Amino acid sequence: MKNLYKILLLNMAGILLFLSWYPPQTGYWYVIDSQVFFFFNHLLTESQAFLYLVAFTNLRPFDVAAFLFMLGIFIYYYRQMDAKGRHWMLAMGATMLITAVIAKQFDLWVQFDRPSATKFFSDAGVAVNRVSQLTGWNTKDYSASSFPGDHGTFLMIFTFFMWRYLGRRAFLSGLAVVLAFSLPRIMSGAHWFSDVYVGAVSVNLIVLSWMLLTPASDWIIHRLMKLRHWE
């Protein structure tokens, strides 16, 4: 199979990345996670502007903004296509959703419950700042299970599909969305840094290598177009 060596290498990288982190709350990833969490957590009481920025970007309706940004990137390229190309892009978008469902199965299969940083340190008796308590807003700053970061996983799937099919500029646009919309959960303490940059990355190294470096995604797109009589 073409690219088999790359696929196996990326799979091994994903496994090793996960093993470098497991078990949680130990080793150097815990040091990084703790430093990132307390850096942002202390800022919440030092800057009113930062506090309300974090609060606003962790409101549930703000989650729609990530989708709208991705949709905007998608539409930008969609409008440049002819009729057949637009049908192809719709099939490609559906294939992204299928890939996201596959990636979600890893989370369900592992059944790994890791409390968010705010819950972990609160349960350990450490005083932490909660955005929802400081502002009175119903923000996402607490989770009983935060690993891996679903937001980061799905955003990365979008980004690498853009790269695979639409090129470097589309990839960079998607990457900006990943960074902008995965950061708020980390700043509020609803996710650890490693939830995204270990959890989401390790899952996608495995899932996306098999989806994008084999004919799998092309085959799904082709079957969807044939099913809809778009060819």
pLDDT band per the 50, 70, 90 thresholds, residue 123: confident
If you average pLDDT over residues 218-231, what whole number do you get?
A: 85
pLDDT band per the 50, 70, 90 thresholds, residue 148: confident
pLDDT band per the 50, 70, 90 thresholds, residue 111: low
Q: What is the pTM of this model?
A: 0.89
Kind plus residue range of the DSSP H or E element containing 167: none
If you average pLDDT over residues 78-87, what whole number do you get?
A: 91
* Residue appearing with tokens 């949680």: 24
Greater confidence, 217 or 230?
A: 217
43: alpha, beta or left? (left if phi > 0; alpha if psi -120 to 50): alpha
What type of residue sits at position 144? Answer: A
In this prediction, residue 171 carries a pLDDT of 93
Greater confidence, 109 or 41?
A: 41
**141 within 8 A of 132, measured Cβ to Cβ:** yes
In this prediction, residue 152 carries a pLDDT of 83
**199 within 8 A of 110, measured Cβ to Cβ:** no
Residue 201 main-chain phi, psi, to 5 deg: -65, -45
